[in-house]
Amino acid sequence: MSDDSGNRYKMFRNFMVNELGLRREDLEEWAKESVAEEVRKFIEISGGMEKLVVKALQGRYYGDIREDIRVRAARLVADHALKVLRGEE
């Protein structure tokens, strides 16, 4: 970093910490929450996690798996993914 950009960074960081009371941990937590919310929206728009997993399992690598196995696997993966998104696991 050049002296000028390093100095600007320090000024910005000091402003965030001293004037706004923001910490790195705050920004990280907000980013995690924002990403989780966007994933939830994507899942809702796409018709649910289970449908997304079923579509993935219907790909060429899993073409021979029977439908009931695909649905059960999709349900298990979807349930686990939603628990992770909710912070339950």
Give buried/exposed letters for 28-46 (b at 16+ CB in 10 A, else e). Answer: eeeeeeeeeeeeeeebeee
Q: How far apart are CA 86 and CA 41, in angstroms?
A: 13
pLDDT at position 50 is 73
pLDDT digits (tens, 9 = 90+) for 11-39: 888 888 888 888 888 888 888 888 888 88
pLDDT in tens, 40-65: 887 777 677 777 777 776 665 555 55
Radius of gyration of the chain (CA): 21
What ranges do the domains of the chain cover?
A: 1-34, 46-89
Coil, strand or helix: which one is 20?
A: coil
pTM for the model stands at 0.42
